Amino acid sequence: MERTIDKEIKELKNLILKMQDDILHSLDEAIFGLTKNDRSYFKKVYEREVQINDQHLQIDQQCLEVMARRSPLANQLRQIIGVIKINNELERVGDQVVNICRSADIYIQRPPLKPLIDIPRMSEEASKMLKDAINSFVTDNMMMAFDVIRRDDNVDALHDQILRELFTYMGGNTQNIEQALSLIFISKNLERLADHVASIAEHTVFCVSGQDVRHIYDRKVPDKQISILFLCVHNSARSQMAEGLAKNILGDKFKIQSAGTDPTVVNPFAVHVLREKKIDISKYISKNVNEVDQKNVDFVITLCEQEVCPQILLKSSKRLHWDVEDPVDTFDSFRKIRDEIETHIKEFNNIFFSHR
C-alpha cells in the first residue's frame, strides 16, 4: 500500500509537470511570435508568467508542509529537496522565456535582418531537453538525466554558430547592429535556458543516487585511460558480469575492475551466460574492495539495492548507481540481468565518451 508521504511526493511531481507544460507553451508562443511578427503572443507569455510565479510559490510551500508533517526518510527527503531545486530552475526557465519576448518585441518592430533558422532549432532542442529532464525526474531515470546534460553542448554549439553569423552581419553594415543584438540576446536567453534544464538533470541524478554531480561532470574527458570500479556486496554475479562486459565493450582505453565488501566466489551461472557472449570470466576471482587499485578511479558504479549497496568514497571519483536486481540461480534470470547490465554499459559509453 502506498504511504501518505509517497502520495504527496507524487502530487508534488505532478505540480512540476504542470509547471513544465505551461513553460513549454510559453516558449512555443515566444518563438512563434518572433517568427510570425505577432506581438499578441508575447502578451500571452507575460500573462502566463504570473501564473508560473504563483505555481513556483505554491510548490515551495507544499514542499515545506510535507517536510514539516511527515519527517521524510533519506530517499524521500532527497525527492522533496529535488522538487524544491527543480522548481527554482523552472521558474528561472520561465524568466528566460519572458526575456526572449522582450528582445523579440524590439526585433519585430523593424524589417527582419535574416531568415530565422537556428534560433527555432535552439528552441526546439531546449524544449526536448526540458521534457526529457522532467521525465527523468518523475521516472527516476538517471541515464536519461545524463543524456540531457550531454545535449546541453548541442545548444551551446548552435549559440556559437549564431554569434559568428550575427557578428558578420554587424561588421558588414552598422545599421544591422540593433537587430543583430536583439537576436544575440534571444540566442543567449535560449542558451541560459538550456543551462537551467541541464541543472534540472543534475538535480535528478542527486535524487536518484544521492550523488551531487553539479561540479564533477566533465564533458571534456582527458585523453587517458579511464578507470571504472564496479561494486556489489559479494562480487559474485552482477559486478563480475559488469567487469567482463565492460572490458569487451569499452576496450583497452579503460581500466575495468570489480570488487565487493563481502566477497565470496564467482557465480557459475555468471560464467556460463557470459560465455554465451564469447566472454570468458572463468578465471576471475571475487575480491574485497581493499584488494583492488583504488588510485585515480574515475567512476565507481554500484549494482545492487540502495539499502545494501557498498558505500565507499574515493577522492575525485564520480559515483553512479545502477539498480540491478540480484539474479536467482536460473539461466534465464542471469541472461536477463546480463542483458540489462550490457544496456547500461552501452548507454554509459554513449553518454560520457561518444566524443572520444
C-alpha cell at 248: 569487451
- DSSP, collapsed to helix, strand or coil, labels residue 254 as strand
Q: What is the 3-state secondary structure (H, E, C) of 194-210?
A: HHHHHHHHHHHHHHHHC
d(CA 157, CA 195) in angstroms, rounded, equals 13
Domains recognised in the chain with CATH numbers: 4-208 (1.20.58.220), 226-353 (3.40.50.2300)
Active-site annotation, residues: 232, 304, 309
Residue pLDDT tens, the chain, 356 long: 467 899 999 999 999 999 999 999 999 999 999 999 999 999 999 999 999 999 999 999 999 999 999 889 888 999 999 999 999 999 999 999 999 999 999 999 999 999 999 999 999 999 999 999 999 999 998 889 988 998 999 999 999 999 999 999 998 888 899 999 999 999 999 999 999 999 999 999 888 877 777 765 554 445 568 899 999 999 999 999 999 999 999 988 899 999 998 999 999 999 999 999 999 999 999 999 888 887 788 888 999 765 456 666 565 677 788 888 999 999 999 999 999 999 989 878 876 665 44
Q: Which residues pair with 301 in a beta bridge?
A: 230, 320
Residue 28 host element (H or E): helix 4-36
